[in-house]
Amino acid sequence: MTSFVETVHDGRVSTMTINRPDKLNALSPEVLSDLKAAIEETARRDEVRAAVITGTGKAFVAGADIAAMRDMDEAEARGFGALGHDVFNTLEQLRFPVIAAVNGFALGGGCELALACDFIYASTKAKFGQPEVNLGIIPGFGGTQRLPRRVGPGLARELIYSGKVIDANEALRIGLVNALFEPDQLLARAQKTAADIATKGPLAVAAAKRLIRDGVDIPLTQANKRERDAFGELFDSADQAEGMTAFLEKRAPDFKGA
Ligand code: COA
């Protein structure tokens, strides 16, 4: 059965590509279901330590599928929103980091998908925006919440109220994107960063991911307590002994994720 999401597993790094170029990778219910299946299949592979998500053609994802949404009634729209949230939450909860490699348009649900990843690399040709107000709706897959957490509430308000589309340089300037690359370099650079992360202690990276992700929503004192607990717990791992012994023996560590 063909899927709208193609996954390539290359050792410790998996790359998921949204593949519906004739509709600019728009997120229909089918594409979202395929994306969830791809995420879950990747998560089941113990060897995976980092992942990349990108799109085929001139878009990363040009949004939720407008043709599929047009005739939805309220109940159907609630269900569609719940599906998008479920898929993006599943992505955000993965134990390993995910880099969005934004190769082109990341509009609406595409921008929200990138925001559900740990951080964003983009092509110099990428464009970002939350244009839902042009359609009489709002971001429905987490944009009103994740965008202000990433770029701050003032910039998020301006982007969401105006629906304006910004170019890659502007996205870099406001901190939505971590780095820009020439289009033909983007995927390789994202995969290289993923491969580099994959050499680090996987329990440590997973703990850092969890603490950063969950810490923004709780009081600082509580978040710092979680950090203290996680810091201590890591000293109960073989990887901590391996990492520090390898340093003192002047060799590369061989982390097992235990
Ligand atoms: N939902 C459904 N179909 C979409 C889509 C979306 N979000 N975005 C693009 N498409 C489809 C177009 O309808 C078109 O289909 P067709 O060839 O059958 O007519 C095809 O993808 C190519 O798009 P097109 O608009 O012709 O490309 P373009 O290069 O002229 O414009 C965009 C690119 C991204 C500016 C434009 O497609 C656009 O504005 N898309 C919608 C963005 C949006 O509002 N997203 C938020 C949705 S909530």
Residues 168 and 210 in one domain: no
122 shares its domain with 67: yes
Per-residue confidence band for 196, with pLDDT thresholds at 50, 70 and 90: very high
pLDDT score, position 103: 98
Examine the domain organization and report whether 206 and 190 are in the same domain: no
**19 and 94 belong to one structural domain:** yes
83-104 average pLDDT score: 98
- Beta 165-167 vs 5-10: how paired, if at all? unpaired
- Same domain for 113 and 34: yes
- Would the pLDDT of 1 be above 70? no
| pLDDT at 158 > cutoff 70 | yes
In this structure, which residue's CA is closest to atom 37 in ligand 1? 62
Query: Is 47 part of the annotated catalytic residue set?
Result: no
Do 225 and 107 share a structural domain?
no
Return the pLDDT at 177.
Answer: 98
Q: Of residues 1 and 196, which shows the higher confidence score?
A: 196
Q: Whose CA is nearest to atom 28 of ligand 1?
A: 24
Q: Does ligand 1 lie within 6 Å of residue 26's CB atom? A: yes
Residue nearest to atom 43 of ligand 1 (CA): 63
- 247 burial type by CB count under 10 A (0-12 exposed, 13-18 middle, 19+ buried): exposed
Same domain, 112 and 235: no
Residue 77 within any structural domain of the chain: yes
Q: Which domain holds residue 211?
A: 202-248
**Is residue 253 in a domain?**
no
The answer to whether residues 23 and 53 belong to one domain is yes
Choose the catalytic residue: 41, 76, 132, 242.
132
Q: Do residues 109 and 172 both lie within one domain?
A: yes
Distance of alpha carbon 223 from alpha carbon 241, whole angstroms: 26
| Dihedrals phi, psi of 213, to nearest 5 degrees | -60, -50
Pairing mode of beta strands 127-129, 119-123: unpaired
Q: How deeply is 251 buried, as exposed, middle or buried, from its count of CB atoms within 10 A (0-12, 13-18, 19+)? A: exposed
